[in-house]
Amino acid sequence: MKDKLKSLKESALAQIHGAQHLEALNDVRVAFLGKKGELTSVLKSMKDVAPEDRPKIGQLVNEAREEIEKILEEKKVAFEKKLREEKMKLETIDVTLPAKKPMMGHRHPNTIALEEIQRIFIGMGYEVVEGPEVEYDYYNFEALNIPANHPAKDEQDTFYINKNIVLRTQTSSTQVHEMEKGKLPIRMIAPGRVYRSDEVDATHSPTFHQVEGLVIDKNVTFADLKGTLQQFAKEIFGEDTKVKFRPHHFPFTEPSAEMDVSCFKCGGKGCRFCKGEGWIEILGCGMVHPHVLEMSGIDPNEYVGFAFGVGLERIALLKYEIDDMRLLYENDVRFLKQF
Ligand code: DAH
């Protein structure tokens, strides 16, 4: 009996050592310690053992059982550790791999140009204000010296909401709102969207943006207007930019002018960009018409002012050399991310 137990134990230990994986280990457990296992059957055959030998044999069986269990457990722990290590190896992250880049949004060229314009004028002490896009005919036209039958009303094809209310055709309407507030002096720019019933093409859109400027104070002169806008042109298009003022007509300014900048592409020699002219028109401006001041409650004998209006898209197109305005409205990320 003793020898049988000894060989049983040795064979169990040998099989445990030979096991290659967890399942094989479990098979060994079942084969020796299971209900029908070999060690169990030794216990069952105790009835054949002489009663005086039973305690001794029982103790030996228990010892064998304990030893087999102990070795089984050690081997199991070793297997599990190995498995964990293999799994870790498989799941290792290579932190040096380049990450997938998420698609980023981009600032629109209009926004970049506007922020640049705002930076320039804020630097000169201007305030940035906003006015309504849905506007009374009065603010868009009448208070700007464009009465009912004035031809300028036809020039700016207007979207009418009803007889008295329009989608503003120009940010100049904001001038009137600011002057009506009665807080003088005024030094403001007013960026915003404007609407005209134009067909879409490379240079037109039914909705676009303007930046309006207005200065009202005592002793303001046309030289102030010129100096301000010259400084603006240099900052936005480069230090070498020259400006030229051509007489023009706007109903709400007198005198009025359009300002051209020297072509920053050819430096004024004439190229495809400036259509051979050497100059590019960028804004309208003038001294605020006394009648406009008067209508908004400002005494033209005490105060004078100048105003200007810039097309924002025009600045963005020129600055970034974009040749079709429609690109600005399609919002194709491949286009936008170039700026
Ligand atoms: N509102 C004019 C337009 O849309 C632009 C303009 C010209 C604005 C002269 C002004 C100005 O303030 O003084 O064509």
Ligand 1 atom 8: residue of nearest CA: 309
Q: Which CATH number fits domain 109-336: 3.90.850.10, 1.25.40.10, 3.40.50.10580, 3.30.930.10?
A: 3.30.930.10
Structure tokens at 6: 């000894």
CA of 79 to the centre of ligand 1 (A): 84
Residue pLDDT, tens place only, 211-246? 999 999 999 999 999 999 999 999 999 999 999 999
The answer, yes or no, to whether residue 315 has pLDDT greater than 90, is yes
CA distances from 107 to 102, 118, 317 (A): 16, 15, 15
Ligand 1 mean position to 262 CA, how many Å? 20
Question: For position 167, what pLDDT does the model report?
Answer: 96
- If you measure from the C-alpha of residue 129 to the centroid of ligand 1, how many angstroms do you get, rounded to a whole number? 17
How many A from CA of 326 to the centre of ligand 1? 23
Closest ligand 1 atom to the C-alpha of 210? 4
Non-local CB neighbours of 296 within 8 Å, separated by 6+ positions: 143, 176, 179, 180
- Position 267 confidence tier, pLDDT thresholds 50, 70, 90: confident
What residues pair up with 287 in beta bridges, in sequence order? 306
Distances (CA, A) of 276 to 150, 258, 262, 268, 279: 34, 19, 11, 9, 8
The ligand 1 site (C-beta within 6 Å) comprises 170, 172, 212, 250, 253, 284-286, 307-309
Please give the pLDDT value at position 117: 98
- For the chain, the domains span 2-91, 109-336
What mean pLDDT do residues 233-260 have? 97
The single-letter code of the amino acid at 46 is: M
User: Which atom of ligand 1 is nearest to 213's Cα?
Assistant: 12
Long-range contacts of residues 46-54, Cβ cutoff 8 Å, at least 24 apart: 49/1, 53/1
**250, 292, 310, 313: residue to mutate for ligand 1 pocket, most atoms within 8 A of CB:** 250
Question: What average pLDDT does the segment 282-311 reach?
Answer: 98
Q: Which residue has its alpha carbon closest to ligand 1 atom 6?
A: 309
Which contiguous run of DSSP H or E holds residue 122?
A: helix 109-123
Ligand 1: nearest atom to the Cα of 252: 13
User: What does pLDDT average to over the chain?
Assistant: 92
Q: Residue of the nearest CA to atom 4 in ligand 1?
A: 170
pLDDT at 179: 98
pLDDT band at 104 (very low <50, low <70, confident <90, very high): confident
pLDDT at position 172 over 80 = yes
For residue 207, the model assigns a pLDDT of 96
pLDDT value of position 254: 98
